[in-house]
Amino acid sequence: MGAPDAIALHDPGSTLSRPWRLSRAAPTLIEVVMNRFAQPVFIAPGLRTPFGRGGGALAAYDAISLSVPVMQAMAAQATPDLLIWGTVIPNLGWSNIAREAWLDAKLDPTVPAFSVVLACSTSMTAAVAAAGMLGKGTDLTMVGGAEVMSRPSIALTAEASKRLTDLFAKDAMAALAALQALTPTDYVLPTKGWANRITGKSMGDHMEDTAKAWRISREAQDDWALKSHQRVVAGWERGFFDDLVVSLPELARDANPRADTSSERLAALKPAFDRTSGMGTLTAGNSSPITDGAAGCWVASEDGLARLPEGTPYARLVDYEISAVDFHMEGILMAPSYGIPRLLARNNLDFSDIALWEIHEAFAAQVLANVAAITDPEWVRETAGVGAAMGDFDWDRVNPNGGSVALGHPFAATGARDLSQAVKELWALPPGSRAIVSICADGGQGTVALLERG
């Protein structure tokens, strides 16, 4: 199928798309992956909280307390052999959220637990890690993550912290006086939408650059955002999300999707990041909102699947790709456009072989730019290092129940939400159907998974 209206290929003169090069890490031969893992690995849907608006119904939680009801509800289905969980926004109150939340949930203390973090790909990375650890008594792993973006910790810079620590060791009263004299430059805050440490730019700032480089229009972004809201709302109305979400006293269903949005309302919003050039296209309507939420899913061997409730959907994790780009040369959220062609080529697949695409919508522009890249044969060949023809891309197979623009994006929860949603969607398709799940991440990284329905 054709791309959404008003999407153009990138400008070869852009600094974001040069130099066109063959990555040294790219495969030079197309090979079939016979056995990615030592044994078959399966993903089964888990559970998640409703996703709440930033500053809204779930703002009184922290990442641990919001993880607890999800872990408890999933543990009621089966006790895992291992727990891998994560959160992205740091908190000095804990170092291993997986273990802390598991114990707060008052679950079996003999289940080991450890934490992972890879920005927005955190809980998908947890799933990949779990897949590699299956076997010899570890047949069923609970993976996931949580983020309460409403309550980021306020921390001091290393310099200010040392200054105060030194004072407290010598003169507590002087340290208290120094606390009162702190200035805004002494604090580390989630300013500018959790800006990248190296560039100082938020993901929205970076995505504006990418949208301009790939000539992704405002109209195309708003059109995709509208589809996302409409599909999430329709999914809730027909009951798609009912068995994926654990209702909380404060919130029974996702708070961000807007049944009343429209093309006209989206078009009326002002740019949220580039507010001065007159060329800004990213708005609050076509970007994922600040969101609170927790989500989990299952990673299992065949024996582990047998421990889940009868009738639980599942899909085989065939292969995965963790990719990274030089974000001084490419867009910071463009790593999936490297990973997707490499993953498909390694498995001798093209776009027509993929029945479902579950693509994380950090921004509508990010989805459109990554697909524009993977459907440009020259770019795929020269930049991603893949010479295989991918064929025609069918947009009707992308995010049939909406994505992060409408649902929201609690960083560490998104991967588990995407995987669970994809497996349930895939389960409604014929056996042998395949899905690609793709998540971009800060730092110029991304994760891509290939799933197959049993």
Residue in the structure block whose two tokens are 């607890």: 68
As a 3-state breakdown, the chain gives helix, strand, coil percent values, each rounded to 5, of: 35, 20, 45
Q: Which two tokens stand for residue 305?
A: 């699947």
Q: Which two tokens stand for residue 245?
A: 């979400």
Catalytic status, residue 297: no
Radius of gyration of the chain (CA): 22
Contact 314, 423 (CB under 8 A): yes
Catalytic status, residue 229: no
- DSSP 8-state code for residue 148: E
Q: How many CB atoms lie under 10 A from the CB of residue 96?
A: 12
Contact 423, 44 (CB under 8 A): yes
Distance CA 181, CA 298 (A): 49
Kind and range of the H or E run holding 302: helix 302-305
Contact 171, 153 (CB under 8 A): no
Distance CA 103, CA 106 (A): 5
**What length does the chain have?**
454
∠ CA 238-240-245, nearest 5°, is: 125
Distance CA 12, CA 345 (A): 24
Distance CA 383, CA 442 (A): 20
- Taking Cα atoms as reference points, which of 410, 444, 402 lies closest to residue 224? 402
- Write the Ramachandran bin of 193: left for phi over 0, alpha for psi from -120 to 50, otherwise beta: left
**Catalytic: which of 120, 206, 229, 297?**
120
∠ CA 96-100-106, nearest 5°, is: 155
**Catalytic: which of 10, 229, 360, 440?**
440
**Catalytic: which of 10, 206, 360, 409?**
409
- Alpha-carbon distances, residue 445 vs 157, 270, 436 (angstroms): 26, 29, 17
Q: Which two tokens stand for residue 338?
A: 């490297």
Q: Which two tokens stand for residue 77?
A: 């289905």
Q: How many CB atoms lie under 10 A from the CB of residue 10?
A: 21
Catalytic status, residue 120: yes
Q: Active-site residues: which are they?
A: 120, 409, 440
